[in-house]
């Protein structure tokens, strides 16, 4: 691991080209006019008014609708399929199964594991068995139900702990153990010997589902042998590469468009099976085909945050020095290789200064839907364990949890070879500034006072975090066009996954060229018209794209000044761009408006190209965070109410204060889901089917579960060395420490440690009753 390697999960299985070095190496911004201000999104009106066309809004002439028959069992062999009744139904234009020659493609669950598109051996409930295209979506579903399938139902395993038993049903030949990863440094046993206090605890983080507002799906259309795909996605180029490879098409004949998209959280990083299915159906019928999953389908078959059982044994000295962390975990990414334990030990390895560390993570197969990257893969799970352990250690040595963390702050990455330093680490400031604004010490003092009489107890807790990625890096190519009237077009490949990418990039252009963000036309996320971009994931889109946008804008400015210099009969180095005019610094009287520059009038257009330069050698760029919260616990019912939250985040320069705060609020909301309400539930003892596959039974937090009082506190570290905009990622760190902070606050309130997510009345009520009995 080095400082430029955070492109892991979101690049898995797709080619990543190199882009040229940028021509520009601009100095860091000193004072900014636009960047950093709280500007509304450039596409806010379109989004709010309904004018924005999301992929699910696409309706093309002669378009058909498709639906997929999915295996209703967690483990079965598909036998005879009878599609004759379905084919005869009104409006049905095509029915495909594993025996259709047109659908004879392989699907890469991972680079190493490929199956058929319609896999006759279904290993999870929801695996694709057949698909239908019909004139209406209702006809398509009626036809799906009319397909009859003989399933040979096999024994299944739902539980990752049981999957390793010798008599467990095998998901794949060769057993259920996918892989074991080990890491160690120092001498763990010596670390225990050096410790004054050693604690050991087991933790569990339940399976969490992405639940983006827009479901997963696409529209596919063939024009001759050209395939166009409109898909709700985080990365159009990732889809293009995978579809071209699977269907053996030149990249130039696969165009993927994803202008707007309604959330992904990691579940829409690339091509999906439905992409290929829609393309096949469109080919057979010679008509465009729309295929979007129902909500229920997305909950069983569009990814999840892997469930994981963790054990952590830790040692600490009385003065707060961590001596050792010994961690093991068993997790599952479901029925195929999907990173079931991916990064689940990273915070153990790297968040706190600790000389002796040992981790062992075991990834196993179970008969459940494959995991997908989910907002900060592995990190919230690990944080759930580590941050609760830190608090338990602090209590045992009589230290404020804050001070224990402050005692162990690293200035370099301990887990990467050569211990490279961080370009910036705001961890200390996140904790101390966050505590100040939150009123940590006062609040802790208050909760420590006896609360006679009332059965409602208050507690405060905190947790800190880092995110392994967030530095960004090449490749990125941006094109900025200046029209003859001074208005601007920005062309970039990256998707705006709801984080405000388009707005932030327009602000960068605005900063350099002086044009207002709302006169910048933005063309993005289209392989036909924009340049290669990696998927928007890993909290790297702003640090990756914004320096390239800046370079492109500067490239435009240089050409503009050169043209102006001809008209002004002066040297271009003496010229500067102020508002809509080019002005001589030596003689401000000497100026010309952009629209009057004769060279620009003649050409009509200036094109600037910007590339993303490399990150500094031997350094690590990671965002840091600390979150604080106050909760109220009803000791009679186990209800937890989150009263307030504060997120202190070091993500380098704040580009847009509004979108920054939005991320913080959203990440905390999602973390409240992990901590208090969400868990996938499989009928593990009987059918293996998911029982809570709807938005009532799978409980994402509502507005009533999230406090109105959330403070976003940016900690702006000096990050100039990282890139030319001084930015680090934000989208993932905002959800890492949330659940652990809540667990610590609940403990502070009532003295009960809930070690498995979610902390709901089901768990807490019994634990509180037990505690009362002990008293």
Residues at the interface with other proteins (CB under 8 A): 72, 137-138, 141-142, 455, 634-639, 641, 676-677, 681-687, 689, 691-694, 696-697, 699, 701-705, 760-763, 765-766, 768-769
Rounded to the nearest whole angstrom, what is the least distance from the CB of residue 64 to other proteins in the complex?
Answer: 15
Cβ nearer to other proteins, comparing 109 with 141: 141
All residues at 6 or more sequence positions from 737 whose CB lies less than 8 Å from its CB, including other chains? 383, 387, 462, 463, 464, 465, 625, 626, 627, 671
Rounded to the nearest whole angstrom, what is the least distance from the CB of residue 319 to other proteins in the complex?
Answer: 41
> Coil, strand or helix: which one is 276?
helix
Cβ nearer to other proteins, comparing 72 with 420: 72
Rounded to the nearest whole angstrom, what is the least distance from the CB of residue 635 to other proteins in the complex?
Answer: 8
Give the C-alpha distances (Å, rounded to integers) separating 257 from 252, 585, 675, 744: 13, 44, 36, 44
What is the SS3 string spanning 417-477? Answer: CCCCEECCCCHHHHHHHHHHHHCHHHHHHHHHCCCCCCCEEEEEEEEEEECCCCCCCCCCE
Cβ nearer to other proteins, comparing 177 with 772: 772
Cα separation, 535 vs 544, in Å, equals 11
Quick check: 261 and 533 in contact, CB under 8 A?
no
Using DSSP bridges, classify how beta strands 254-257 and 226-231 pair: parallel, antiparallel or unpaired. Answer: parallel
| Residues 288-309 as b or e (16 or more Cβ within 10 Å = b) | bbbbbbeeebbbbbbbbbbbbb
Cβ nearer to other proteins, comparing 590 with 753: 753
Cα separation, 226 vs 224, in Å, equals 6
What spatial distance separates the first Cα and last Cα of the chain, rounded to whole Å?
A: 50
Angle 224-229-234 from CA coordinates, rounded to 5° = 155
Rounded to the nearest whole angstrom, what is the least distance from the CB of residue 766 to other proteins in the complex?
Answer: 4
Cα separation, 141 vs 292, in Å, equals 12
Quick check: 758 and 207 in contact, CB under 8 A?
no
Cβ nearer to other proteins, comparing 416 with 699: 699
Rounded to the nearest whole angstrom, what is the least distance from the CB of residue 758 to other proteins in the complex?
Answer: 8
Rounded to the nearest whole angstrom, what is the least distance from the CB of residue 615 to other proteins in the complex?
Answer: 42
Residue 682, phi then psi, degrees to nearest 5: -100, 145
Question: Before 475, cis peptide (omega within 30)?
Answer: yes
Rounded to the nearest whole angstrom, what is the least distance from the CB of residue 704 to other proteins in the complex?
Answer: 4
Rounded to the nearest whole angstrom, what is the least distance from the CB of residue 672 to other proteins in the complex?
Answer: 10
Cβ nearer to other proteins, comparing 145 with 179: 145
Cβ nearer to other proteins, comparing 580 with 705: 705
N residues, the chain: 775
Cβ nearer to other proteins, comparing 630 with 661: 630
CA-based max dimension of the chain: 90
Cβ nearer to other proteins, comparing 53 with 769: 769
Rounded to the nearest whole angstrom, what is the least distance from the CB of residue 657 to other proteins in the complex?
Answer: 29
Cα separation, 485 vs 229, in Å, equals 34
Cβ nearer to other proteins, comparing 240 with 760: 760
Rounded to the nearest whole angstrom, what is the least distance from the CB of residue 530 to other proteins in the complex?
Answer: 36
Cα separation, 139 vs 65, in Å, equals 9
Which strands make up the sheet holding 591-593, listed edge to edge? 575-578, 581-584, 591-593
Rounded to the nearest whole angstrom, what is the least distance from the CB of residue 556 to other proteins in the complex?
Answer: 49
Cα separation, 505 vs 547, in Å, equals 9
Helix axis angle for 738-750 and 440-448, nearest 10°, is: 30
Rounded to the nearest whole angstrom, what is the least distance from the CB of residue 455 to other proteins in the complex?
Answer: 7
Quick check: 106 and 115 in contact, CB under 8 A?
yes
Rounded to the nearest whole angstrom, what is the least distance from the CB of residue 700 to other proteins in the complex?
Answer: 8
Question: 89: which 2 tokens?
Answer: 């139904």
Cβ nearer to other proteins, comparing 48 with 771: 771
Quick check: 129 and 78 in contact, CB under 8 A?
yes
Find the radius of gyration of the CA atoms of the chain. Answer: 27
Cβ nearer to other proteins, comparing 33 with 697: 697
Cβ nearer to other proteins, comparing 306 with 701: 701
Cα separation, 490 vs 533, in Å, equals 14
């Amino acid at each position: 691991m080095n400082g430029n390697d955070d492109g892991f999960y979101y690049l898995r299985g797709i080619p990543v080209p190199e882009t040229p070095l940028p021509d520009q190496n601009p100095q860091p911004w000193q004072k900014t006019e636009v960047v950093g201000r709280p500007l509304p999104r450039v596409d806010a009106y379109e989004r709010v008014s309904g004018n924005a066309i999301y992929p699910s809004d696409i309706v093309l002439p002669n378009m058909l609708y498709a639906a997929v028959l999915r295996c209703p069992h967690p483990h079965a062999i598909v036998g005879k399929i009878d599609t004759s009744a379905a084919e005869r139904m009104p409006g049905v234009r095509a029915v495909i199964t594993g025996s259709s020659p047109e659908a004879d493609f392989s699907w890469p669950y991972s680079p190493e594991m490929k199956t058929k598109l319609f896999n006759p051996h279904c290993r999870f409930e929801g695996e694709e068995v057949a698909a239908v295209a019909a004139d209406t979506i209702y006809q398509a579903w009626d036809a799906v139900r009319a397909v009859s399938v003989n399933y040979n139902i096999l024994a299944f395993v739902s539980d990752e702990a049981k999957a390793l038993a010798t008599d467990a049903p095998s998901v794949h030949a060769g057993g259920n153990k996918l892989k074991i990863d080990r890491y160690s440094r120092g001498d763990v046993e010596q670390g225990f010997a050096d410790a004054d206090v050693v604690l050991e605890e087991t933790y569990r983080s339940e399976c969490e589902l992405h639940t983006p507002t827009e479901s997963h799906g696409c529209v596919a259309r063939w024009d001759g042998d050209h395939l166009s795909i409109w898909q709700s996605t985080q990365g159009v180029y990732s889809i293009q590469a995978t579809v071209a490879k699977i269907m053996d098409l030149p990249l130039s004949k696969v165009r993927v468009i994803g202008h707007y998209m309604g959330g992904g959280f990691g579940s829409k990083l690339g091509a999906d099976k439905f992409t290929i299915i829609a393309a096949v159906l469109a080919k057979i019928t010679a008509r465009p085909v729309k295929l979007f999953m129902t909500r229920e389908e997305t909950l069983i078959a569009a990814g999840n945050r892997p469930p994981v059982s963790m054990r952590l044994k830790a040692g600490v000295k009385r003065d707060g020095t961590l001596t050792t962390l010994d961690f093991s975990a068993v997790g599952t990414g479901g029925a195929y290789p999907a990173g079931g334990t991916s990064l689940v030990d990273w915070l153990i390895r790297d968040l706190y200064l600790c000389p002796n560390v040992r981790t062992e993570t075991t990834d196993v197969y179970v008969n459940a839907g494959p995991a997908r990257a989910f907002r900060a893969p592995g990190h919230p799970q690990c944080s759930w364990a580590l941050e609760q352990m830190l608090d338990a250690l602090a209590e045992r040595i009589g230290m404020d949890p804050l001070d224990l963390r402050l005692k162990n702050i690293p200035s370099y990455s301990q887990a990467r070879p050569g211990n490279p330093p961080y370009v910036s680490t705001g961890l200390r400031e996140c904790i101390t500034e966050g505590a100040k604004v939150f009123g940590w010490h006062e609040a802790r003092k208050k909760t420590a006072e006896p609360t006679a009489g009332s059965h409602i107890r208050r507690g405060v807790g905190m947790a800190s975090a880092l995110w392994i990625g967030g530095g960004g890096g090449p490749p990125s190519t941006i094109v900025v066009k200046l029209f003859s009237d001074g208005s601007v077009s920005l062309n970039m490949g990256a998707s705006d996954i709801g984080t405000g990418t388009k707005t932030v990039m327009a602000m960068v252009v605005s900063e350099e060229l002086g044009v207002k963000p709302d006169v910048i036309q933005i063309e993005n996320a289209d392989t036909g018209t924009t340049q290669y971009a990696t998927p928007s994931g890993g909290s790297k889109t702003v640090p990756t794209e914004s320096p390239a946008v800046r370079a492109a804008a500067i490239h435009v400015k240089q050409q503009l000044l050169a043209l102006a210099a001809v008209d002004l009969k002066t040297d271009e180095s003496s010229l500067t761009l102020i508002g809509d005019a080019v002005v001589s610094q030596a003689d401000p009287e000497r100026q010309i408006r952009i629209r009057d520059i004769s060279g620009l009038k003649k050409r009509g257009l200036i094109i600037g190209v910007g590339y993303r330069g490399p990150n500094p050698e031997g350094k690590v760029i990671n965002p840091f965070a600390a979150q604080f919260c106050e909760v109220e616990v009803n000791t009679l019912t186990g209800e937890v109410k989150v009263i307030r939250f504060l997120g202190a985040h070091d993500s380098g320069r704040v580009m847009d204060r509004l979108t920054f705060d939005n991320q913080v609020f959203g990440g905390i909301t999602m973390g409240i889901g992990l901590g208090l309400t969400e868990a996938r539930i499989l009928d593990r003892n009987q059918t293996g089917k998911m029982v809570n596959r709807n938005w009532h039974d799978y409980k994402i937090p509502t507005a009533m579960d999230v406090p109105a009082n959330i403070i976003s506190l940016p900690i702006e570290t000096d990050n100039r060395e990282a890139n030319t905009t001084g930015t680090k990622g934000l989208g993932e760190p905002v959800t890492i420490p949330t659940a652990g902070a809540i667990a610590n606050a609940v403990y502070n309130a009532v003295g009960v440690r809930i070690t498995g997510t979610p902390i709901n009345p089901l768990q807490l009520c019994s634990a509180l009753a037990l505690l009362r009995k002990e008293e």
